[in-house]
A = this chain, B = another copy of it.
Amino acid sequence: MKTTRTRRLVAAALLFTLALATGLGRAADPATALGTGLLPSWNDGNTKQAIMHFVQRVTTPGGNDFVPPAERIAVFDNDGCLWAEQPAYFQALFVFDSIKALAPQHPEWRTQEPFASVLKGDVKAALAGGEKALLEMVMATHAGMSTGEFEQVVRDWLATARHPTTGKPFTEMVYQPMLELLAYLRVNGFKTFIVSGGGIEFMRPWAEQVYGIPPEQVIGSSIKTRFELRDGKPVLVRLPEINFIDDKAGKPVGIQQHIGRRPIAAFGNSDGDLQMLQWTTAGSGARFALLVHHTDAAREWAYDRSSSIGKLDQALEAARSAGWTVVDMKNDWKTIYPD
């Protein structure tokens, strides 16, 4: 009997191993086993239930809505969805800081707009030049160096820069409930991607450590690069030329280019995510779309239809008519940032 029992135990453990290795066990077990113990920073209610119900549908083997693990693709916007975006996109703050840091090498910037205004601390005046001024500032701070050098610049900035109102490092202004959601999806066999209008190489240096999302699962806007041999050593040089804008109608294009199959779940917070959510939900089978609505002026910021940053207007209408899930940040989230 004891030998039989031992064999059974070992067989069970090996079966479990096999299930884990194939991804099937990972897909089905944790969601049901851990139940509502998951997503601890989400208040119980319709939003949390909608998320968990969807995950259960697509991970239940034999169910009508079962989706094989390889097809469990989930895409997340970054600014305003995974981390905060007020009072300005954090990458814009990086641009302004970089201009200040680079100013000693550019004496001409003291009199040349939009740089002169940035150096005087007048961001509003700098941005008065519109898209052309913005592009000039982006190129002055993002191009003209190798990919390795730019990665280091981003890392150095994040190590010391602090948010103007919270005083926190920017990588600590990520949303705790969304971190839990990313982990919850992954434990259920999903592959999680970022699909952001932000710079792809601005996000990659920290996305793996902060979100658990490796660089190959980060999609974003980019400038062109060129391969060169410098003293026999290969480098990729960042050029002052737009390669791709991963925003609005660009998001489905970026998704197809990088992932090559349609996601089954999409998470955003602004009109820039509308087409990504349309593209995701237009596929056959079970689909999930969610918008984070910034409703919490006390713990974060409250903004939507009239905000110049993270404007949420058309996508909110679309969510209402399509029945997409909308997070009411104030009521759905127990906490905003990690402790």
Contacts and interface: CB of A to CB of B under 8 A. Distances in A.
A307 interface: no
Interface string A179-214: 000000000000100000000110010001000001
A227 B279 contact: yes
Interface of A is mostly: helix
Copies in the complex: 2
Interface in A210-250: 214-218, 222, 225-227, 229, 233-234, 236, 243, 249-250
Contact of A258 (B70, B229, B258): B258
A257 interface: yes
A14 interface: yes
Contacts of A257: 200, 222, 225, 243
Contacts of A21: 20, 26
A159 interface: no
Contacts of A200: 257, 260
Given A258-B258, A278-B234, A214 B17 contact: no
A147 interface: yes
B233 A249 contact: no
Interface string A138-149: 000000000100
Interface stretch (A2-10, A168-176, A290-298): A2-10
A254 to B, nearest CB: 10
A33 interface: no
A282 B233 contact: yes
Nearest to A218: B260
Contacts of A253: 225-227, 236
Contacts of A250: 227
Nearest to A259: B216
Interface string A70-107: 10010000000000000000000000000000000000
Interface residues of A, number: 48
Contact of A260 (B17, B201, B256, B279): B201
B215 A227 contact: no
Nearest to A13: B13
Nearest to A252: B227
A260 B233 CA distance: 19
Contact of A6 (B9, B20, B217, B229): B9
A261 B214 CA distance: 9
Interface of A: 2, 5-6, 9-10, 13-14, 16-17, 20-21, 26, 70, 73, 147, 191, 200-201, 204, 208, 214-218, 222, 225-227, 229, 233-234, 236, 243, 249-250, 252-253, 256-261, 275, 278-279, 282
9 contacts: A13-B14, A17-B17, A21-B26, A70-B208, A227-B250, A229-B278, A236-B252, A236-B279, A243-B257
Nearest 5 Cβ contacts at the A-B interface: A215-B260, A13-B13, A227-B249, A17-B17, A216-B259
